[in-house]
Structure 1
């Protein structure tokens, strides 16, 4: 995997070259399929959160710890993914990650209390960290159509997985709260088999060239690049809003598991569609940084609407689904910027960025649950909106460190 020599070298998403998006090596499609499976596993849990609270006699804040432990462990584990991947190779790391998720999910289906599930979700976060950071770097490295299209393909896999997962989780959750965990284990086994058969052992140019292993300190060194640090902090702030919707919104919608599955199906569908088709247009028209700010401001307004109309079911449902379109655009825009914002290896950049953004994802679920218990159901959405608004301010305050992204696109 070749490193870049200039922090101003950024990749422009060109919708005119969309035909090359599907002309990929078989190994890319293997990782693509496994990514869908992995993110289906993440979304399976959402529709059963209220059911878990009821059947395991847990409070909303205790149930949201399922997301907090998952994201906290994943954030820390992201720091070692580059080092592990450089030693095991991309294929070995992906298989290890999926294997851990399969085992932990299987035990989750047998758990007897909320605290056992919280602990197992931490192990799930470890497996997902190994998979997510490596999958993005692997798709980018293996793709035959450039970084921009590879990222679009990856974000499409994320959107498809997140959209289908809740529907499957809601369907299985209507049978038993244990069924989704068992379903995840089965999905992970399927992904493990696909990767084992279709992905070559030497999966990156750096491995085949015998490149030296990556230091455990590499992600911290990468954060010395101000552009990468700024984008990581921005992602951490807006992820507070993101996971307020993921972990807390199910408690205020008042729907059964299958109904929640349909809501998050619509959310994930818009996330997938906008990440592939709309984000490139926004970048072409306005540039990456300006487009990100537009999407973040829309997200603030969306969360404020949910905070005002928390007691009106159809408004919350519509706002959650609409948030999918906003986040689909923003995820593609910020991921594209991160991959070429600094002169470090993409796997290292991904690990450093993911560490920062999942810190925000770890804080949000438990904080939202506690705020609702201490104050009222409206407050978590307003606080989430405040964090997202803070991310816009942070971009404005640090614009000089990331404006090279838009300037490079304009020159291109």
Structure 2
């Protein structure tokens, strides 16, 4: 008989978890959904690439800022109502974006979409982690699976619907989110409000803790490279809507595969720290290749698709590490981390468009590669925290460390940091 119990199946979950996971798939479709129609929007609405890239900027910057209020809202109305509110906003604003007739209108409605997205993303992760069977690691794998599938399907749906009309992807998301909304209302049980009401300042205060701040700043650098590729690479590819959809679907499939299978395999062999160092270095190199060979359509397409592997690995390992090292409640950690990282993702596409207009198409990718490389240096300043996160995860997986011991360890670490800063 094996000395270690077999790992629980992360895909054997209650119906409520599947309902939220399905909604996550649709929500994350919104990230890559507009990629195939970016050049079409630029042409048909007579907008520059930097103006069109504001679809990412308004969406992600509003998502980042709104992350600060997710805990405030959910601690007062409960997780289910927060999920429902976020889904309702996404349904309404995605439909409004499809009905809009100007690039400014679409950008504005994408901002409203970002507000709904923030309410949904931060709360959905907490709900899945709290409700899923199979433990913390299994819940993260399920969440990242939903993210990967959504990212993979988004460009495919965007390319197919965008081939009919640029309005199609927006209406498509609205319809699918309406289905997710109904599933959430029916299948997710009402959740009690927490005993302690969160403050809007809690996610900002949480950044005083070195582990959370280090991981957040690393993710900001990483997301700068990520969304430079996602938000600007479609323009130099010079492909049709359908073809762009297929390229980014291939990219998204690698995100999904390496989130679920590649990340656990790599982490088991190299550990958290070395896995992240290696992955970020390879991702920076990949973006550098995009910058060097932007004029080669084949090289550009292959390098963009390959980037999905590095993104998938980083997403899963980093999310687990953040939730482990953060000495605060997981909803607060999720909101704080999301606030910092989405700022990088939101600013990068617009900056890339502006830089390219003045300095050529290569420079945005050089800057993106440099940003990811900078993230390695930032991450290295928290190497000891990553080692602690690895120890805690390994102990919990083996069943040797109860949640109470983990909480006490993190609280002691947080107290030491606060005393150090006070001194």
TM > 0.5: yes
3-state SS of 2:219 partner: helix
Distance 1:277 1:31 in 2: 22
TM-score, structure 1 as length reference = 0.93
Distance 1:67 1:172 in 2: 19
Distance 1:18 1:114 in 2: 49
TM-superposition CA deviations, 1:59-103 (whole Å, max 9, x none): 001110111111111110001111111112111111111110111
Is the Cα contact below 8 Å between 1:47 and 1:258 reproduced in 2?
Answer: yes
Which residue of the partner structure matches residue 324 of structure 2?
340
Is the Cα contact below 8 Å between 1:18 and 1:149 reproduced in 2?
Answer: no
- Does residue 391 (structure 1) correspond to residue 380 (structure 2)? The answer is no
Is the Cα contact below 8 Å between 1:287 and 1:409 reproduced in 2?
Answer: no
Which residue of the partner structure matches residue 362 of structure 2?
378
3-state SS of 1:238 partner: helix
Which residue of the partner structure matches residue 122 of structure 1?
111
- Which one is further off, 215-224 or 310-319? 215-224
Where do residues 286-365 of structure 1 align in structure 2 (5 Å cutoff)?
286-365=270-349
Distance 1:16 1:233, change over 3 A: farther
Is the Cα contact below 8 Å between 2:155 and 2:246 reproduced in 1?
Answer: yes
Distance 2:300 2:288 in 1: 11
The structure showing larger relative contact order (alpha-carbon pairs under 8 Å, at least 6 residues apart) is 1
Distance 2:145 2:329 in 1: 23
Structure 1 residue 405 displacement after superposition: 1.9
Where do residues 12-411 of structure 1 align in structure 2 (5 Å cutoff)?
17-202=6-191, 207=192, 211-408=195-392
Distance 1:140 1:33 in 2: 15
3-state SS of 1:112 partner: coil
Distance 2:6 2:232 in 1: 39
- Which one is further off, 17-26 or 49-58? 17-26
Unmatched 5+ residue regions in structure 1?
Answer: 1-14
Distance 1:109 1:304, change over 3 A: same
Structure 1 residue 408 displacement after superposition: 3.9
TM-superposition CA deviations, 1:204-226 (whole Å, max 9, x none): xxx37x52221111111211110
Distance 1:97 1:21 in 2: 26
Is the Cα contact below 8 Å between 2:325 and 2:385 reproduced in 1?
Answer: no
Distance 1:277 1:60 in 2: 35
TM-superposition CA deviations, 1:133-178 (whole Å, max 9, x none): 1111110000111111100100000000110111011111111111
Structure 1 residue 295 displacement after superposition: 0.6
Which residue of the partner structure matches residue 11 of structure 1?
none
TM-score, structure 2 as length reference = 0.90
Distance 1:60 1:273 in 2: 31
Unmatched 5+ residue regions in structure 2?
Answer: 399-423
Distance 1:151 1:52, change over 3 A: same
Is the Cα contact below 8 Å between 2:266 and 2:275 reproduced in 1?
Answer: yes
Is the Cα contact below 8 Å between 1:289 and 1:405 reproduced in 2?
Answer: no
Q: How many residues get paired?
A: 393
Please tell me the root mean square deviation across aligned C-alpha atoms, in Å.
1.5
- Which one is further off, 332-341 or 400-409? 400-409
TM-superposition CA deviations, 1:348-407 (whole Å, max 9, x none): 000000000001011101110011101111111111000000000111234244432234
Which residue of the partner structure matches residue 5 of structure 1?
none
Distance 2:239 2:8 in 1: 41
Distance 1:410 1:29 in 2: 26
